[in-house]
Structure 1
Amino acid sequence: MSDREKFDLDAYLERIGWAGGARADLATLRGVHLAHALALPFENLDPVSGRVPSLEPADVVAKMVHGRRGGYCYEHNTLLRLALEALGFRVTPLAGRVVLGADTPESRPRTHAMLRVEVPGEPLPYLADVGFGAIGALLAPVPLTVGEEFEDGGRRHRFTRLPHEGPLELWALQAYDGVARDWVSQYAFTLEPFTAADFEVFNWHVGSNPRSPFTRRPYLQRTTAERHLALDGARLTETRADGTVAVRELAGEAEARRVVAEEFGIEVPEGLELLGRLSGG
């Protein structure tokens, strides 16, 4: 039995709160993508606990659909790929370099996962990505074309091409920063397809390397219609829909566990002490 045949689509749609169409069309793709992005948080508590997250479909479903957990990009986009394929879409996994804060695209390895989705009746494929842990992340899929600006869930994105020496065109997803009033590149990628074996290697590196930021401190994100929450170490940042930002430091273990449980909707893994991690210990 294939992953598509074993995937419990109804349980997934219930988990993300999507009660709209369940067909391979653009309205369903947009609706499911947005519902997923708003329902399931980004989190790295397994790597912080010393465990590399499993990308086996059954494990991803058990953790994110049936458990009170989120995940990072490989888990999120594995789950979305399974759902979209069950709905009848043709999906190709892609890999990118996170260039947000980087000097050059080449200074970062390919560690981010995203999806190229073909939509029946649409002339262009779409980029879908529910696993980018930043406020510049996509909330809805956008067509793969350069020269247009897209509004997705209240955010603004566009694609551009970056100069490089490789044989394939290098795309960059840019998000509009309303504070800086400028476009900021989030990640760069080519349209070369990647396989589950590739992502197993990426996942092992990101989830186990002591130099990886995801193994060193908790990093959580959650987006709602009213605000975006980010927990980076001990710092909690709230960005509201009107652009106002509030930042504060968490005081201790009890507050950290309460915030993770109540604000992010995540069950803290057994044995993980947040206090030491959040205070840099």
Structure 2
Amino acid sequence: MADTVDFDLDAYLGRIGWEGERRADTVTLRGVHLAHMRGIPFENLDALRRTAPSLETADLMAKLVHSRRGGYCYEHNFLLAGALEALGFGVTLLTARVVVGADRIETRPRTHMALLVEVPGDAQPYLADVGFGAIGALLEPVPLTAGVEFRDAERRHRLVRVPHRGPLEMWLLQAHDRGTGDWAGQYAFTLEPFERPDYDVINWHIGTNPRSPFTQRLYVQSVDAERHLLLHGRVLTRTRADGDVSERELTTEAEVRRLLDEEFGIEAPDGIALLS
């Protein structure tokens, strides 16, 4: 990934609690992916201060591994990419258009990051993504196969091909909505490889643009086997594995900081306004 800093695999695996084998196979890929999702929270505290977080390996390790913090899309997926490469996987960096709530794919820019992972000896690559801050996020990587339903941990996903004017095929990740029974589009992507400088530009835009959703209000999520927890602005939404959903509104900065500490494992920096 054009980063000269050695990746501290021991520290990373300790942070996510992975004690399984360190082999470049599908079992390890799925296990590390799921452990990362459950071990490191998604959060946009830097972007709330209109600051684009560093994507350098040393800085990612300091923040997401050695501190009580999380990160957003690019931080999570660059961290996972470094770990997978250290384990012997092949990794291609992709960009995607988030289509949740969109009428047409073309109305959304390519501001999301995902990974295409090659497993040695396996002809089928996998879509991996630990940085999608939504309840439709992948918990485990899925094979790049069209029209097949995959059960990744407690969730159901599938990939479909969609019409696209460009020369490369466009894929759409869909998540099954337990409430409606429908398949909902999450993001669309092609297999065009992107490089670190591309993400430096995208990261700066998402982390500093006053019109970016991540610079306007707090967005934090964590997931485990029992529940998905989302704090969006003042509203805390708890979605249990059985589909039960509950919400409550937070009213004070002290309440938010206590919640971040106790429920998400995040130590919010001083001097940042958490409620909008």
Note whether the superposition's TM-score is higher than 0.5.
yes
The aligned counterpart of 2:207 is 207
**Kept in 2: contact 1:93–1:116 (CA 8 A):** yes
**Kept in 2: contact 1:161–1:172 (CA 8 A):** yes
**Kept in 2: contact 1:46–1:269 (CA 8 A):** no
The aligned counterpart of 1:242 is 242
The aligned counterpart of 2:134 is 134
Task: Give the counterpart letter for 1:135 in structure 2.
Answer: I
Q: Which structure 2 residues correspond to residues 101-116 of structure 1 after superposition, within 5 A?
A: 101-116=101-116
Paired with 2:134 and 2:173, the residues of 1 have a C-alpha distance of 13
Q: Secondary structure at the match of 2:171?
A: strand
Q: Which structure 2 residues correspond to residues 1-281 of structure 1 after superposition, within 5 A?
A: 3=3, 6-274=6-274, 278=275, 280=276
Write out per-residue CA displacement over residues 237-256 of structure 1, whole angstroms, 9 at most, x where no aligned residue.
Answer: 00001100001100211111
Paired with 1:46 and 1:191, the residues of 2 have a C-alpha distance of 29
**Kept in 1: contact 2:40–2:70 (CA 8 A):** yes
CA drift at 1:5: 6.5
| CA RMSD across the alignment | 1.0
CA drift at 1:133: 0.2
**Kept in 2: contact 1:237–1:247 (CA 8 A):** yes
Paired with 2:177 and 2:123, the residues of 1 have a C-alpha distance of 29
Paired with 1:272 and 1:231, the residues of 2 have a C-alpha distance of 16
**Kept in 2: contact 1:156–1:176 (CA 8 A):** yes
Q: 1:219 to 1:5 in 2, by over 3 A?
A: closer
Number of residue pairs aligned between Structure 1 and Structure 2: 275
Unaligned regions of 5+ residues in structure 2, if any?
A: none
**Kept in 1: contact 2:5–2:57 (CA 8 A):** no
Task: Give the counterpart letter for 1:37 in structure 2.
Answer: M
Q: 1:267 to 1:189 in 2, by over 3 A?
A: same
CA drift at 1:3: 4.2
CA drift at 1:198: 0.4
CA drift at 1:103: 1.3
Runs (4+) off by over 6 Å: none
Task: Give the counterpart letter for 1:69 in structure 2.
Answer: R
Task: Give the counterpart letter for 1:259 in structure 2.
Answer: L
Paired with 1:245 and 1:251, the residues of 2 have a C-alpha distance of 20
CA drift at 1:49: 1.9
**Kept in 2: contact 1:3–1:82 (CA 8 A):** no
Q: TM-score, normalised by structure 2?
A: 0.98
